[in-house]
Structure 1
Amino acid sequence: WLCCDGLPGQGTIGLEILRQRSDHIDAIFIPIGGGGLIAGVATVVKRLRPETKIIGVEPFEADAMKRSIDKGERVKLNRVGTFADGVAVIEVGEETFRLCKDLIDEIVLVDREEICASIKDMFEETRSILEPSGALSVAGAKRYIEDNHVTNQTFVAITSGANMNFDRLRYVSEMAEIGEQREAIFAVKIPERAGSFKELIKNLKNANITEFNYRFACYDEANVFVGVGVSGPKHAKDIFGGLQLHYQTLNLTHDDMTKLHMRHLVGGRTSEIVDEVVYRFEFPERPGALLDF
């Protein structure tokens, strides 16, 4: 069945899955880098249970296999995102491509936020911390279920990969809320006068404020960076629409520059203020607490 070094061993993962799940499996989600894992598993599963779908998962920023299958030949990427470094390849293997183009039923693409949300899901469920490429298949399964409104089906997600690098944990925890669509980020321009911030909080309709950044810049207007807890995309859209009725507002929830850098850049000195005093306050973590403060 398998003719390349490494592929027979990877194919045994498919055998192990079928032995552990002797009942029906609707689909198996498999991360794709060079294509060896999915080629090996797909070869075995499609021979023994051809009705089971093989669904590959790639990051948007490292989608060499999907582009290759779409074009009908191997495609070499000009650049590759390295967040999920275990699957960050410029070009898939020749033999793995030959197998995958005939055996894969579908490829799902996911972004960084969805990967981070899946890392959090796995930690809360199993207390295991997966690296990004290890959580890729879980993110793909979630995306597939949401896009296709799937219910009452049995899925398997292969969570391969090494351990998480400790220095990435902070980034993952910040991005997980956005990936779960539980946080929206807005940039709002308000008048630089007493009471403006209170009015902004009132116009947020008692939303749970998760992050707030502001720094005096001039006497005319202020730029406020605010994170808001939301229940889903519709809730975020409603809040955004409400803010636009009163302020010049940008929705930065899905802006990479904002998520990676802008939220940390508020601060610095201004020549307009010579008698500034810095205070630190603690208040309850609940909706409305900031307005009460």
Structure 2
Amino acid sequence: MTTFSERVSGSAEALRALFPATPLQENDYLSRKYGARILLKREDLTPVRSYKIRGAFTFFRKALAHEGDTATFVCASAGNHAQGFAFVCRHFGKKGVVFMPVTTPQQKIDKTRMFGGGFVEIKLVGDYFDDCYRAALAFAETTGSRMVPPFDHKDIIEGQATVGLEIAAQMPNGRAPDIVAVPIGGGGLAAGVTQYFAEAGASPRYLFCEPAGAPSLRESLAAARRVKLDRVDNFVDGAAVAEIGREPFRNLKGFSADSVTLVPENRLCATMIEMLNVEGVVLEPAGALAIDALKDLPRKEIKGKTIVLIVSGGNFDFERLPDVKERALRFEGLKKYFVFRFPQRPGALRDFLALLGPDDDITRFEYLKKSARNFGSVLIGIETKDAKNFGRLAKRFHETGWAYQDITDDETIAEFVV
């Protein structure tokens, strides 16, 4: 009977029919910044700009070997899994059906259709992922088609494990990394990489990186069982999973909850902007998780260490860029939103503007309502070049008697008025 690492080796060899091994690149900028040797595993450079193609290809290859050429394949996804699935359908010349929510951005629909060529049919069902996932399962059951899961299957895990095999082969001087940072969604990538390294006799420290708004692995490890989250922040759409996969959790349940770092979504946006501006690297939110997690590692613990960061994907929709920049500015303390009680008198706006410093800029000014005949509630957004300027502004507002509320971090209010 073959071992897991032997099967992964076979899968990696078969993958070479689609694309060469993605590069493991030393990043000088991050290495200098953190005082460590930082290597990026560039999964954003696969043909579909994410690692998901690896699992989909391995699943197809094994299914076709067992079932022949009669199988039709189905998946439910609005992102990277759909695109990897579509690419593999075209490669094997097999019919595939992709279920997506009706709310899926047209750009993602078009890219999936492009990768699939004439072999993929797209069905838009429901407003949310759960709706289209149920529809896909029902379709697969009634038609006898093969459902291709995004992460919860041993063949998917085997395909994702080829990332670990390539890292091991590409490491300078053949040495194992000291730390491997792995983004977590459903857990298929982490399950494959950790199992491969374990069988290869390597024991790096793992830094599992989850969005703060979707800590399914951390909660599950803390409870020593799979936990389904009641609520998930979908901003990091490539990793916002309510429940870690059953099969991946079998591989990961031996790790401690402390091995998972939770990445704040707004801080992640600052990392995305930093990598775009400094390195010219376009990353989706999930693809930046491992890079951002470096911020949580004490410098004395990583000084001189070799750290591999798995960059899981670069499928970024640039229509989201204004939101990403906004979140980044708010995280860095360079932008805030206030609701002011504005007097309804001539010259009030001029008096307010006189309080602003030379680096302060009003980016939004909107009357919300007149709460009294002589006053009105005004939403004001202010952006500045130095976060310390807001302390100075607060002092001026207080000294001149302006009544206001800072709503920047009040999610309930900001969701409705910002």
TM-score range (shorter-chain normalised) is 0.7 to 0.9
2:303 is matched with 152
> Which residue in 2 is equivalent to 1:133?
286
Query: Structure 1, residues 140-168: CA drift from partner, whole Å, max 9, x if none?
Result: 223x14xx455735433212135112432
Report the residue type matching 1:43 in the other structure: Q
Q: CA deviation at 1:210?
A: 4.7
SS class of match (1:129): coil
Residue 274 of structure 1: aligned partner: none
Partner of 1:83: 235
Consecutive unaligned residues in structure 2, runs of 5 or more = 6-153
Q: Percent identity?
A: 29
Instruction: Give the AA of the match of 2:158.
Output: P
SS at match of 2:228: coil
After the TM superposition, which residues 43-62 of structure 1 pair with which residues of structure 2 at under 5 Å, given as runs? 43-45=195-197, 48-50=201-203, 52-62=204-214
2:271 corresponds to which letter in structure 1?
S
Contact 2:168 2:176 in 1 (8 A): no
1:247 to 386, 402, 409: 402
Could you say what secondary structure the match of 1:211 adopts?
strand
Looking at structure 2, the residues matched to 219 and 6 of structure 1 have their Cα atoms a distance apart, in angstroms, of 64
CA distance 1:28–1:239, shift in 2 (3 Å): farther
**Which residue identity is paired with 1:12?**
T
Alpha-carbon distance in structure 1 between the residues aligned to 2:234 and 2:179: 27
Q: Read off the aligned partner of 2:307 and give its amino acid letter.
A: F
State whether structure 2 residue 342 is matched by structure 1 residue 190.
yes
Q: Which sits farther off after the overlay, 203-212 or 131-140?
A: 203-212
TM-score, reference length from structure 1: 0.74
Alignment of 1:54-133 (within 5 A): 54-103=206-255, 106-133=259-286
Alpha carbons of 1:202 and 1:42: their partners in 2 closer, same or farther (altered >3 Å)? farther
Q: Is the 8 A contact 2:184 2:190 kept in 1?
A: yes
- Aligned pair partner of 1:175 in 307, 327, 336: 327
Secondary structure of the 2:181 match is strand
Alpha carbons of 1:26 and 1:205: their partners in 2 closer, same or farther (altered >3 Å)? farther
Give the secondary structure class of the aligned counterpart of 2:227: coil
* The structure with more helix, counted as a fraction of residues: 2
From the superposition, tell whether residues 44 and 180 of structure 1 become closer, same or farther in structure 2 (CA, over 3 Å): farther
Gapped runs of 5+ residues in structure 1? 264-293
TM-score, normalization by structure 2: 0.54
Q: 1:222 to 1:124 in 2, by over 3 A?
A: same
> Aligned residues, how many?
258
C-alpha displacement of 1:48:
4.2
